[in-house]
């Protein structure tokens, strides 16, 4: 038994020695650098909370007194502080099961599964923090050289720690490398430390959405921030999505792992345009937040002004859809505002109007249209607008039609003198603006009207008879309205059997400008047409000249009458206008007269036009060739181109006047000369087609005096030149002979020098 006891004691001593050796080895190995540099992957984190969520709670605990063994906010030691944070800030249970059991060993055991790093110096910690191995919120447990845990802390930002250090420092936040070398008391001398992952390394993506233009959306139920759907993408793949609430806030339902993400809107909320903006965010151990704005959809409200009858954006007659003035009232910035505009090119645009109801009211009608008294409410909802574009183009047309002003006209037709009513007389009524024309015809009492009360517009519309209705402009005829839209109209009587012998009423203009009014044109009287008396007269005597072929043409050159003049003037009835009297063939011996233009004036019943014919006048003169004095007694003739005698006479002191010679070529011939004169050669002359006097002159030479024979010769008082003349002639003949011989020799010499070339003989 004793041996056994002895053996037992010996065995116990061996075991105790082995344990001591192990403790020493552990202490030694704990201080080795290779151990201090080790980093371990944590199995997740202690808490799903993020640093952003707990930071404020931890900092609120700073300044709490240090109390050895304390476990509450009235005072605690290092393990009491860290245990309280784990339980009350991180939302976990107390390390060790209760505050009383919460010590550094219990904290190390509680966090053991989440160890992420071990180190043995401040440099180790700073390097690990810089590398992201140590993160804010991690739990740090310090050991002394023997490996016993002696202190604990919470990692902070910037390589700091939060801890309950000592009675001197209390609960504070200091840099790790500052506290590492200071003995905090209570055995706080550090040889190594272990770091445990305290908080989630990921985070939520949160977003708050606002309106990009609150003045548009404020107080307007068509806009809501709720319902915007956002997607979170990584590497092009959708990894999460969330929907905003009424305040515009939204976040992912689960935390996302650390990494880079893109957040973009998938579906815009009601009343907003889908945003194309992308937000690039990085989750790095905490939540990330995005502030987003959506542009509210506004409306470009275009009013299309249309005619109520045609339903087209085009006016009738001289009316205009332009110039209409409108007001648009709508909610903006939480209160109702009014914008004004004027229609141009049949359109008016109000831009930037919020969704909802807009009240449109015309404040001034355009020219030629009746005012629109109705207030039109136009509602554009978010569903109508969609979210494809921040601007929704909306046209309003059918609601904004306007009735053109319409009226009528009437007239009575009678003849001048007896005032007899003229039936069956057509009047063409033409729009001065559009050129549209329709005919009204007088009835048995000479009356005509465009009013539906006279002939319904719908009865044989524009048929052109006394029983036909009339309707101008577009749309279907309406017997409740006037036939003529707002415009100026030209009323023109048309020729017919009933007014054939009367002057037509000149075209005149009348305006329709008052709705429902009938313009009374009064009694239109037909006067007799003008009678024109045309005379063809001799220019000298003024008497009627028969035999002329005459024409009257109108302003367009059309022949309206043609005749041969007689002993009496020609009578013709013409309408008012411009005319020309032309002579086609003149009577024999007369020249064709120049045309005569004349005007037929309305109301002037009797007018006279005279055309006078002139003739040619030729004065034939016989004169002395030397003195130019007139010679009497010569027997003279005028021959035509064929040699026929057309006139003969004996010259006198005055020139002989020949009238009415037809224009052409003639010969003045002298049959016998006056005594003492030689017969003159014939003189050919031209008679021009003019009424001016033309003159032809023939000169006679005097007969030479006869030579005197017998009687005494004159005394020779001078030199006798006859012999001298004979000698001179002989000398000249000899000289010419010598010259001829010399020239011949020169030609022969030149011929010898020039060879075969011949020199022409000079004669």
* Exposed / middle / buried, residue 735 (Cβ in 10 Å: 0-12, 13-18, 19+): exposed
pLDDT of 716 reads 42
pLDDT of 25 reads 36
Beta bridge partners of 143: 149, 192
The C-alpha atoms of residue 116 and residue 126 are separated, in whole angstroms, by: 15
pLDDT of 522 reads 92
Below-70 pLDDT ranges, the chain: 1-43, 285, 528, 603-605, 707-763
**Domain 404-524: which topology?**
Immunoglobulin-like (2.60.40)
pLDDT of 438 reads 97
Q: What is the pTM of this model?
A: 0.52
Phi and psi angles of residue 690, each rounded to the nearest 5 degrees, phi first: -150, 155
**CA 585, 589, 590, 591 torsion: positive or negative?**
positive
Q: What is the CATH number of domain 615-698?
A: 2.60.40.10
pLDDT of 304 reads 95
Angle at 492 between CA 488 and CA 495, to 5 degrees: 165
**Domain 49-194: which topology?**
endopeptidase fold (from Nostoc punctiforme) (3.90.1720)
Output b/e per residue, 298-308; b: 16+ Cβ within 10 A. bbebebbbbbe
What CATH number does domain 203-292 carry, 2.60.40.10, 2.30.30.100, 2.60.40.2240, 3.40.190.10? 2.60.40.10
DSSP codes joined into one string, 595-644: PEEEEEPTT--EEEEEEEE---EEEEEEEETTT--B----EEEEE-TTS-
In the chain, where are the structural domains located? 49-194, 203-292, 296-401, 404-524, 529-611, 615-698
In tens, the pLDDT along 262-310 reads 999 999 999 999 999 999 999 876 789 999 999 999 999 999 999 999 9
pLDDT of 20 reads 40
Architecture of domain 296-401: Sandwich (2.60)
* Exposed / middle / buried, residue 559 (Cβ in 10 Å: 0-12, 13-18, 19+): exposed
Length of the chain equals 763
Fold match, 49-194 / 615-698:
no
pLDDT of 705 reads 81
pLDDT of 21 reads 39
Torsion on CA atoms 650, 655, 661, 665, rounded to nearest 10: 90
pLDDT of 604 reads 66
The domain 529-611 having CATH identifier 3.40.50.2000: the answer here is no
617-624 sheet: strands from edge to edge: 656-659, 617-624, 693-700
């Amino acid at each position: 038994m004793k041996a056994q006891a002895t053996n037992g004691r010996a065995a116990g001593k061996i075991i105790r020695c082995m344990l001591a050796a192990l403790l020493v080895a552990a202490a030694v190995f704990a201080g080795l650098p290779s151990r201090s540099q080790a980093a371990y992957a944590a199995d997740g984190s202690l808490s799903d909370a993020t640093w952003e969520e707990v930071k404020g709670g931890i900092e609120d605990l700073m300044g709490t007194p240090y109390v050895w063994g304390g476990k509450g906010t009235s005072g605690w030691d290092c393990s009491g502080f860290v245990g309280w944070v784990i339980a009350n800030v991180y939302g976990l249970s107390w390390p060790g099961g209760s505050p009383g059991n919460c010590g550094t060993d219990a904290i190390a055991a509680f966090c053991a599964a989440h160890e992420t790093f071990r180190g043995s110096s401040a440099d180790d910690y700073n390097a690990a923090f810089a590398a992201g191995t140590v993160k804010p919120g991690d739990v740090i447990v310090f050991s002394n050289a023997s490996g016993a845990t002696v202190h604990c802390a919470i990692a902070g930002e910037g390589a700091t720690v939060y801890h309950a250090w000592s009675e001197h420092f209390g609960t504070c936040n200091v840099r790790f490398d500052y506290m590492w070398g200071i003995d905090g008391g209570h055995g706080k001398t550090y040889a190594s430390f272990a770091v445990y992952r305290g908080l989630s390394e990921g985070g939520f993506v949160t977003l708050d959405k606002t309106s990009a233009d609150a003045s548009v959306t404020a107080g307007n139920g068509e806009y809501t921030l709720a319902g915007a759907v956002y997607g979170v993408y990584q590497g092009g793949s959708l990894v999460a999505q969330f929907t905003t609430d009424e305040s515009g806030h939204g976040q992912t339902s689960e935390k996302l792992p650390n990494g880079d993400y893109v957040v973009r809107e998938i579906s815009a909320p009601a009343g907003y345009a889908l945003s194309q903006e992308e937000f690039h965010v990085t989750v790095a151990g905490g939540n990330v937040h995005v502030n987003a704005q959506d542009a509210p959809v506004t409306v470009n409200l275009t009013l299309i002004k249309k005619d109520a009858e045609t339903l087209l954006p085009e006016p009738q007659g001289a009316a205009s859809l332009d110039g209409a003035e409108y007001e648009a009232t709508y909610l903006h910035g939480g209160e109702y505002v009014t914008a004004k505009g004027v229609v141009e090119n049949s359109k008016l645009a109000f831009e930037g109007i919020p969704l909802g109801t807009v009240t449109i009211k015309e404040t001034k009608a355009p020219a030629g249209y009746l005012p629109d008294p109705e207030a039109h409410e136009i509602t554009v909802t978010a569903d109508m607008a969609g979210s494809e574009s921040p601007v929704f183009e909306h046209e309003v047309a059918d609601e904004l039609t306007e009735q053109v002003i319409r009226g009528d006209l009437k007239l009575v037709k009678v003849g001048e003198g007896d005032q007899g009513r003229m039936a069956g007389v057509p009047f063409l009524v033409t729009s001065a603006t559009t050129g549209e024309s329709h005919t009204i015809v007088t009835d048995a009492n000479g009356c005509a009207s465009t009013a539906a009360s006279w002939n319904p517009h719908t009865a044989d519309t524009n048929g052109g008879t006394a029983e036909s209705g009339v309707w101008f402009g577009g749309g279907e005829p309406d017997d409740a309205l006037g036939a003529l839209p707002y415009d100026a109209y030209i009323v023109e009587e048309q020729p017919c059997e009933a007014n054939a012998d009367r002057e037509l009423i000149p075209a005149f203009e009348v305006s329709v400008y008052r709705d429902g009014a009938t313009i009374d044109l009064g009694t239109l009287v037909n006067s007799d047409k003008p009678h024109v008396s045309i005379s063809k007269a001799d220019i000298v005597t003024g008497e009627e000249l028969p035999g002329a072929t005459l024409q009257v043409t109108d302003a367009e050159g059309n022949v309206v009458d043609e005749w041969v003049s007689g002993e009496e003037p020609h009578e013709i009835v013409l309408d008012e206008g411009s005319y020309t009297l032309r002579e086609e063939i003149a009577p024999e011996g007369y020249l064709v007269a120049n045309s005569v233009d004349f005007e037929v004036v309305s109301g002037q019943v009797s007018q006279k036009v005279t055309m006078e014919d002139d003739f040619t006048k030729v004065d034939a003169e016989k004169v002395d060739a030397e003195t130019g004095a007139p010679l009497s007694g010569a027997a003279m003739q005028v021959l035509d181109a064929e040699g026929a005698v057309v006139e003969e006479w004996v010259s006198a002191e005055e020139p002989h006047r020949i009238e009415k010679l037809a224009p052409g070529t003639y010969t003045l011939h002298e049959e016998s000369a006056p005594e003492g004169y030689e017969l003159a050669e014939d003189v050919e002359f031209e008679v021009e087609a003019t009424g001016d006097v033309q003159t032809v002159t023939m000169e006679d030479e005097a007969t030479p005096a006869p030579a005197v024979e017998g009687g005494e010769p004159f005394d020779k008082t001078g030199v006798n030149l006859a012999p001298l003349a004979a000698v001179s002639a002989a000398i000249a003949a000899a000289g010419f002979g010598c010259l001829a011989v010399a020239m011949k020799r020169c030609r022969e010499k030149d011929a010898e020098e020039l060879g075969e070339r011949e020199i022409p003989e000079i004669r």
